[in-house]
Chains A and B, each alone.
Chain A
């Protein structure tokens, strides 16, 4: 396979590492959630890429189509996207509550408050 053939997977790795880095390094709780989203999205692309069959069309039975793409990974990822949305919503709801309780969304500022109190 040529280098261009792996283009999707290269993007997956770049996105995965970007998201992972943001989750680990950013002290801002909202940005961490954004990083988590990028990380999850990279996995969605990984699944969608593997469903592609060379020269395949959309998996709908029609005249003249010889190969179809695999629809299963797409369906799986629909479920995973729903899970991702739920996680994001819950995470952001927690951040709202944390902001109410501490008046900050900065990890270090929050830890400092707890150490004093």
Chain B
């Protein structure tokens, strides 16, 4: 296996492993294969990140067809960075999955479950790595269709309706993206993103180009779950199996944000007159999302739902940075992309451990667990602190750059609103902490033990990452600011 083939291996290995999982039939073997594939993609992603030259590209022509006629895979530093996020979360979640899946999903469906996970994984990696607009749509649908199936496997019957809602909204979003891509193809006759980027400036002020951009932005924002297009997210995260929630929360919305960055900055170009109103709109919706979703999160009783609404709020922070369209703003977006993936994966994996032992993740179920599951609960608190943005955690770094970006743009009220959002996060995280540590276990509740070490290990690796990237910011902020400058062409 030579290094030059890594871009295609990154996608093709999980894609081919999926049917193999199905053929293995045995859940444990399928899990072992899926986990091995997860770690392989992480290795490939890290190698790619290490080998992309600063400001340069790695290009891979599929089947030897020269671009722009053939499909081309392009890896620049943004691609490699997002690939590392997706692959790392995928590898850790799959490592954790075995016991949790054994408890939550029927035995006969285990092999199919891992096959669907790998398909979703391959789709997400494909979206990031491809340099072809239509290919992106196909990968988007691969990952979406498998995630609808994964969500519907939740034990509660509401998982079915949640999955159905997501299917309807997700398909509308994907079709909007398809319309946008079609209009761009009509105007330029190309689907290759770099080729599109070279031709779009000639179209200045063309109404069809503006319509294409509008369709693309709305479609992608549905996938990002940007307020008020987030309606599918809380139910989907709450009722999906724990492993699926952790996986999707760490990867799917992040990849959608990547697609938005790619289209707004690489394809349409930062200077387009269009971006001015898109930027303002994104800032307004992002702030509304932060405040509304945080407020709603405070009043939820299911802890999974609390953190699902918190995800909508955090997506607001991520999109806010895009709205500023400055190097600091985009740095904040990219850093938070990474940090949010790490913190939400901790939180949802820890909740998965609670579901594994207690059977549910409502606040009432979690009373007094601080004593019986100390390590899991400590991880939950660490994730919560990072979510709030306490210094020495990864979350602090993201908030810091976001506030800097707001002040740099001269919009101090936005900086204040970001801090208000953090205070609201303190309230909902505190509700969980208070229940876990200060309330006694309900009378008559069965005694619970700590979860096995192979579930704790991935959780604590992620907790360590939360602290590590709160102190050593070379990998995140260093890479992110470089990418931000590249995106803005500075």
Seen from chain A, the residues whose Cβ lies within 8 Å of a Cβ on chain B are 20, 23, 29, 32, 36, 39-40, 43, 46-47, 50, 73, 76, 79-80, 83, 86-87, 90-91, 94-95, 97-98, 101-102, 110, 114
Q: Which of A36, A79, A80, A90 contacts B172 (CB 8 A)?
A: A36
Interfacial chain B residues near A39, Cβ < 8 Å: 172, 175
Which size bracket describes the interface of B in this complex?
20 to 34
In the complex the two chains form, is A87's CB within 8 Å of B157's CB?
Answer: no
In the complex the two chains form, is A36's CB within 8 Å of B171's CB?
Answer: yes
Seen from chain B, the residues whose Cβ lies within 8 Å of a Cβ on chain A are 134, 137-138, 141, 145, 148-149, 152, 157-158, 160-161, 163-164, 167-168, 171-172, 175, 178-179, 182, 185-186
Most A CB contacts (10 A, CB to CB) among B158, B161, B179 go to B161
* Main SS class of interface, A: helix
Interfacial chain A residues near B186, Cβ < 8 Å: 50
Q: Which of A23, A46, A94, A114 contacts B182 (CB 8 A)?
A: A46
Q: How far is the CB of B379 from chain A (nearest CB, A)?
A: 32
Q: How far is the CB of A94 from chain B (nearest CB, A)?
A: 5
* Main SS class of interface, B: helix
In the complex the two chains form, is B161's CB within 8 Å of A110's CB?
Answer: yes
Interfacial chain B residues near A110, Cβ < 8 Å: 161
Question: Which 6 A/B pairs are nearest by Cβ-Cβ distance?
Answer: A101-B157, A83-B141, A94-B164, A50-B186, A98-B160, A97-B160
Interfacial chain A residues near B145, Cβ < 8 Å: 83, 86-87, 90
Q: How far is the CB of B25 from chain A (nearest CB, A)?
A: 21
Q: Which of B161, B167, B179 contacts A46 (CB 8 A)?
A: B179
Q: How far is the CB of A29 from chain B (nearest CB, A)?
A: 7
- Bound CA–CA A102/B164 (angstroms): 14
Interfacial chain A residues near B152, Cβ < 8 Å: 94, 97
- Bound CA–CA A83/B142 (angstroms): 8
Interfacial chain A residues near B172, Cβ < 8 Å: 20, 23, 36, 39
In the complex the two chains form, is B164's CB within 8 Å of A114's CB?
Answer: no
In the complex the two chains form, is A102's CB within 8 Å of B168's CB?
Answer: no
